[in-house]
Amino acid sequence: MRPSSQLMQVNNMMNKLRFLGGAVMLAAVAACGGGGGTADSGTLRLALTDAPACGYDEVNVTVEKIRVHQSSSAGENERGWSEIVLATPSKINLLDLTNGALIELGETRLPAGTYTQLRLVLAANPGNPNVPLANSIRLSAIPEGSGQEIPLKTPSGQQSGLKINVNMTVEADQRADFVLDFDACKSVVVAGKSGNYNLKPVVRAILRTETGVIGEVLPAMAGAAVSLQLDGLPVRSTVADAEGKFRLSPVESGTYTLVVTAPGRATAVVKNVVVSQNQIVRVTPDGTDIAPAVSATGTLRGLVAYNPVVTPIDATVNVWQRLPEGTTIQLVSRPVDMDTGAYVLGDLAVGAPEVASFVANGTPAFTAEGTVAGKLRVSAVSGGVTRTSSELTLTPAGDQTVPTFTFP
């Protein structure tokens, strides 16, 4: 997690983005296939936001343009592409875009229909070391990387664009408003043998609405990871700011589980948080903090392997906890080292998770669920296949090794 001073800078940046509004909008023009404002065309507007990252002070990308197509299999040179081209490509630190902060990417007219492919075209990193990097990261809490800007490699991203599957419907004479939710944590993959950091974007296109959840944790928990989950999968995530406040927006209407994790604290869970369309729900009364007990922490480490051996290793590991009444929550999700398949998952709470039910306009009453304290499962996902460990009992006494996951 980033230090409080850095979180205050992030909070200030978010406020600045909200205040500037249209002043920070990046101009857009329509390219071939844009529709030209005919009766059967509509408008697509895009903005960018971010889920919380892990272990980074900055994750920077420089967006040049966004291309969309109605066919998920269309090649880069086929007809039917529409584009939003940024008049002045801007280097964006994704970690400034938390707690509901957005940066506008622009809009364009295009034929009405459902668009299933999006390509994010980034500027190329310069070969000259004296020219600022276009795409980069800065590591946090690691002495040898502290303050050092490291190139973020985009192996297939500059010319044709980073391909992302989406489902965006544009209706005739209407404006379709979408936000690209860029998960920086899952999108940065380490290549341990080479020391490179590669960008493999995990991006969702979500409707822009004034729908979401707000609340606060103890200020001492600034930087805590907060997520809204559905069936154990996060649908929106952020980090608490320097004052402990958080905002999860936009989200679709529905009933969610709120999960809060922070180093040195028990996991806090609020079940059955009901969110209605165009409603901002306060999960705790104003001025009331979510304040889980102090907890010892443990670390899990392991490997993902391919048989026969191939590289790169394209896999993600997840840590789950099952509550007594059957609700499953995800505590963390990380890509493995693409060269070695190794992973290390630290700062996992050993203490009992504290669970409450949502009370509209009231204060949730938390209860420590001691029967599941430290009881976790780890899963690995690769190529659409999932492998899951047996239940592990986490302890604070050194690292624990998870049995190797082997694919296929």
Q: Exposed, middle or buried, 144 (CB in 10 Å: 0-12/13-18/19+)?
A: exposed
Res 362: pLDDT: 92
Does residue 199 sit in the same domain as residue 347? Answer: no
pTM: 0.83
Confirm whether 41 is domain-assigned.
yes
Confirm whether 365 is domain-assigned.
no
C-beta of residue 382 within 8 angstroms of C-beta of residue 314? yes
Q: What is the pLDDT of residues 228-259, one digit of tens each?
A: 999 999 999 999 999 999 999 999 999 999 99
Last residue of a domain, one of 145, 175, 207: 207
Does residue 70 sit in the same domain as residue 198? Answer: yes
Confirm whether 281 is domain-assigned.
no
- Total domains in the chain come to 2
The enclosing domain of 400 has a CATH number of 2.60.40.1120
Confirm whether 283 is domain-assigned.
no
Confirm whether 52 is domain-assigned.
yes
Res 282: pLDDT: 96
Confirm whether 383 is domain-assigned.
yes
Q: Give the rounded percent of residues in the chain with a pLDDT score beyond 70.
A: 87
Last residue of a domain, one of 174, 207, 240: 207
Q: Indicate whether 205 pLDDT > 50.
A: yes
Assign 3-state DSSP to the chain and report helix, strand, coil percentages, each to 5: 10, 50, 40
Q: Indicate whether 50 pLDDT > 80.
A: no
Taking residues 198-206, report their average pLDDT.
Answer: 87
Does residue 308 sit in the same domain as residue 169? Answer: no
Q: How confident is the model at residue 378 (pLDDT cuts 50, 70, 90)?
A: very high
Confirm whether 314 is domain-assigned.
yes
Last residue of a domain, one of 207, 235, 256: 207
Task: Write out the residue range of the structural domain in which residue 122 sits.
Answer: 4-207
Q: Indicate whether 368 pLDDT > 70.
A: yes
Mean pLDDT, rounded, of the chain = 86
Res 36: pLDDT: 40
Confirm whether 229 is domain-assigned.
no
Res 55: pLDDT: 77
Res 141: pLDDT: 57
Taking residues 345-349, report their average pLDDT.
Answer: 94
- Nearest partner of 277 among 258, 257, 249, judged by Cα: 249
Does residue 64 sit in the same domain as residue 195? Answer: yes
C-beta of residue 30 within 8 angstroms of C-beta of residue 83? yes
Taking residues 383-402, report their average pLDDT.
Answer: 93
